[in-house]
Amino acid sequence: MPGWTFHLGPFLRSIEFSVTPQAFSFQALEKGRWLPGVTEEQPEEAEHREVEMFRQVLGKTLGFVGYTIQYGCIAHCAFEYIGEFVVCSGPSMEPTIVNHDIVFNERMSRHLFKIEKGDIVIAKSPFDPHMNICKRVVGLEGDKVCTGAPSDLFKTHTYVPKGHVWLEGDNLTNSSDSRNYGPIPYALIRGRVCLKLWPPHSFGTLSESPTKRIIKNPNNSD
């Protein structure tokens, strides 16, 4: 094979360059021993290496996306069927729930149709589906409820239609509720508030309604 030999001193006795149409190689002879050669990468090898790198990057990316979707689905199911933490705002549920209280809103009761009278629920506003309201269930379907304020001299009543609930705030003098917009569909209920988490001194279950609103069934007398 054609080549050229150069002497570079006592450490490297000779260096030989070999040129071929396929590759360029370099080898050095040190004290009678050939050093490993450095060979230029073939185009096919470079292309194969790039393809492998692309496959690795693509595989990691798809794996990350897959894990993201998987854990996103788990989180969605947890919030949809187990519960969520809610920061409350507004005075309508005082003194039971005050501004900035943090409560846990469980979803199982809603899905199992276990919402009962006296429960505090989180529901979608009948006026704005992007807004949630926190109220107490005062009447279920078929119940006779008072539509006026406690101070009204003449009481007015109505019946809760099928598939609906009657919601009121504990702070009757400062609450917009079913007395204003009527009974709301059961489907708007997002869950039942079962626990107050914050502030620490109020941690625990929620108290009963301070309004003492009497719920009458259709078969009860006035």
pLDDT value of position 33: 52
pLDDT value of position 188: 93
Is 196 one of the catalytic residues? no
pLDDT value of position 21: 45
Is 92 one of the catalytic residues? yes
What are the structure tokens assigned to 217, written together? 């069934």
pLDDT value of position 130: 87
pLDDT value of position 222: 43
Alpha helices in the chain (DSSP H): 43-81, 108-111, 178-181
pLDDT value of position 133: 92
Q: Which parts of the chain sit beneath pLDDT 70?
A: 1-43, 71, 74-81, 214-222
pLDDT value of position 42: 62
Q: Which CATH architecture has domain 83-202?
A: Ribbon (2.10)
Measured distance CA(57)–CA(50) in Å, rounded: 11
Per annotation, catalytic residue among 92, 109, 175, 178: 92
Q: 222 exposed, middle or buried (CB, 10 Å; 0-12, 13-18, 19+)?
A: exposed
Per domain, the residue ranges of the chain are 3-39, 42-81, 83-202
pLDDT value of position 54: 76
pLDDT digits (tens, 9 = 90+) for 74-98: 666 666 667 888 898 889 999 999 9
Give the CA dihedral 42, 46, 51, 52, nearest 10 degrees. 100
Q: Which residues of 146-176 are buried (b: 16+ CB within 10 A; e: fewer)?
A: beeeeeeeeeeebbbeeebbbbbbbbbeebe
pLDDT value of position 127: 87
Measured distance CA(33)–CA(15) in Å, rounded: 11
Per annotation, catalytic residue among 60, 114, 135, 216: 135
